[in-house]
Amino acid sequence: MTEREKHQAQFQAGLRNITEAVVTGLAAIGIKLTAKNVDWRGWRPGQPIPNTALQITFKPDGLPAMEFPFTREQIADSWESLESAEVRNLVRRIVKNYRDVQSTARNA
């Protein structure tokens, strides 16, 4: 495996770990999100890793899409697990935003 392929695989693993953390967090509050409803806008496997933040869009069933930026470093650092407090806090913020939307929808 070349160095480029290794970085690509780690970047993709970081995206997958972040996605799984959001899916799990939303499931804990009763919101269904599948990986097919997550868009890593601006990047696909095999493309060069972006130098800037990557916008990740989440679109749970029946709720609005929300877009959140993750830096290249945040994604790369998440390839084995979500060790970064910054990334964990961002995942919590995503879950909280959807909890708030869900709560507003129920009270409407």
More confident residue, 27 or 52: 27
pLDDT band at 9 (very low <50, low <70, confident <90, very high): very high
Nearest residue to 55 via CA among 66, 36, 68, 73: 68
Which residues have C-beta within 8 Å of that of residue 20, sequence separation ≥ 6?
35
With H, G, I as helix, E, B as strand and everything else as coil, classify residue 96: helix
Q: Give the span between the Cα atoms of 42 and 65, in whole angstroms.
A: 16
- pLDDT of residue 70 exceeding 70, the answer is yes
> How much is the average pLDDT of 7-28?
95
The residue with tokens 């909890």 is 99
With beta carbons less than 8 A apart as the criterion, state whether 72 and 51 touch.
yes
The reported pLDDT for the residue numbered 38 is 94
- pLDDT of residue 19 exceeding 70, the answer is yes
Domain boundaries, the chain: 3-107
Hey, what are 92's tokens? Answer: 């919590």
